[in-house]
Amino acid sequence: MFNLLFILCIFFIGSSFASFFTVTIWRRLTSAPSSKFSYCNHCYTQLSFLDMIPVLSFLCLKGRCRYCCRSLPTETLFGELLTGYWSVFIYLFFNSSVASLSIITIGYILIITSIFDLIQKEIPDIFWGISFIFTLHPFPTLTQWNTAFILIILMFFILYYIPGYFEGADFKALIILCLILPFPKWALLNLIASGLGLLYQLFYFLFKKHFILELPFIPFITVAFMIIISCYN
Ligand SMILES: [Zn+2]
C-alpha cells in the first residue's frame, strides 16, 4: 500500500514538471504575458489549485476551462501522462549506470521536444546537442554509426532538393535514437511510430472528416521509444 502511494507520488511529481515545462514553453513560443501565476490561455483567468492538478484536473474538467469553457491544451495532458509514466518506470526498473542515465535523459528530452513539436514545430537544436553527448556512452557500434551516417546524407538530400518539406527535427531525433538503440529495435521504433501516426490520422479523420496536414511526428517517436524501452527491460 505504502509502495503504491509512493509510486503515485512519483507519477504526480513527474507530471507536475511536465505542466511547468509546457507552460514555460507555451509562454516562450507564443509571447503570452509572463506571470508568476498560472492562467487560462484563452480567458487569462488565474487558475486555482484544483485547476492545476496534473492529469486529474484535465479529466475532471473534461478538457475544458472551468471559466470560459474553451478547450484546454491537449499537449499539457500528453506531457503530464508521459512524464509521469517515465518517472515511475525509471523508479521501478532502472539502475544508476551511465547507459541507463543516457536512456533516462534522452527519454525526458524527447518528451520536452514533443511538447515543442505539438505547440509549434520549431525545436531548439540545443536539445539534440545534449542528447548527442548522452549517446556517447556506451560508445555506438559501427552499424549504429553507419545508420546515422545514411540518415544524415538522406536529411541533407531532402533539405537540398525539397526545401521546406520538413523541419529536420524528426530526422535529428531518429539519428540520436539510432546511436543508442541496436538496429532491430531502432527499425521497430520507426514501424511503431509510423503505425501510431497513421492510426491517429485515421481516428482524426473519422471524427473531424479531414486529415492533419502537418502531423507532429516527434510525439509518436517518443511514445514508440517508451514502448520499446518498457518492453525490453
Ligand atoms: Zn478560460
Quote the number of domains for the chain.
Answer: 2
112 CA → ligand 1 middle, Å: 24
Residues 6+ apart with CB under 8 A from 107: 86, 90, 222, 225, 226, 229
Query: pTM value?
Result: 0.90
69 CA → ligand 1 middle, Å: 6
84 and 102: one domain? no
104 CA → ligand 1 middle, Å: 35
114 and 39: one domain? no
Reported confidence tier of residue 229, pLDDT bands at 50, 70, 90: very high
110 and 207: one domain? yes
Segment 4-27 shows an average pLDDT of 90
Segment 176-198 shows an average pLDDT of 95
103 and 159: one domain? yes
Say if residue 155 is exposed, middle or buried (CB neighbours under 10 Å; 0-12, 13-18, 19+). Answer: middle
213 and 229: one domain? yes
Mean pLDDT of all residues belonging to the chain: 90
Q: Cα separation of 112 and 75, whole Å?
A: 10
102 and 171: one domain? yes
102 and 198: one domain? yes
Q: Cα separation of 40 and 118, whole Å?
A: 18
Segment 187-192 shows an average pLDDT of 96
166 CA → ligand 1 middle, Å: 33
43 CA → ligand 1 middle, Å: 4
80 CA → ligand 1 middle, Å: 20
117 and 77: one domain? no
Q: Spell out the long-range contacts of 168-174 with Cβ–Cβ below 8 A and sequence spacing 24 or more.
A: 169/113, 169/117, 169/121, 169/123, 169/218, 170/217, 170/218, 170/221, 172/123, 172/125, 172/128, 173/110, 173/113, 173/128, 173/218, 173/221, 174/221
32 and 140: one domain? no
Considering only residues 153 and 1, tell me which one the structure prediction assigns the higher pLDDT.
153
72 CA → ligand 1 middle, Å: 8
197 CA → ligand 1 middle, Å: 30
Does 165 score more than 70 pLDDT?
Answer: no
Dihedral angle sign, alpha carbons of residues 66, 68, 71, 77:
negative
**Boundary (domain end) residue, out of 43, 75, 93:** 93
Return the pLDDT at 172. Answer: 92
Does 163 score more than 80 pLDDT?
Answer: no
Range of the domain at 7: 1-93
- Quick one: which of 33, 222, 198, 205 has its CA closest to 118? 222
117 and 11: one domain? no
**What is the per-residue pLDDT across 29-49, written as a single tens digit (0 to 9) for each?**
777 777 778 888 888 888 888
161 and 231: one domain? yes
CB atoms within 10 A of CB 3: 8
147 and 231: one domain? yes
**Boundary (domain end) residue, out of 42, 63, 93:** 93
**Boundary (domain end) residue, out of 54, 74, 93:** 93
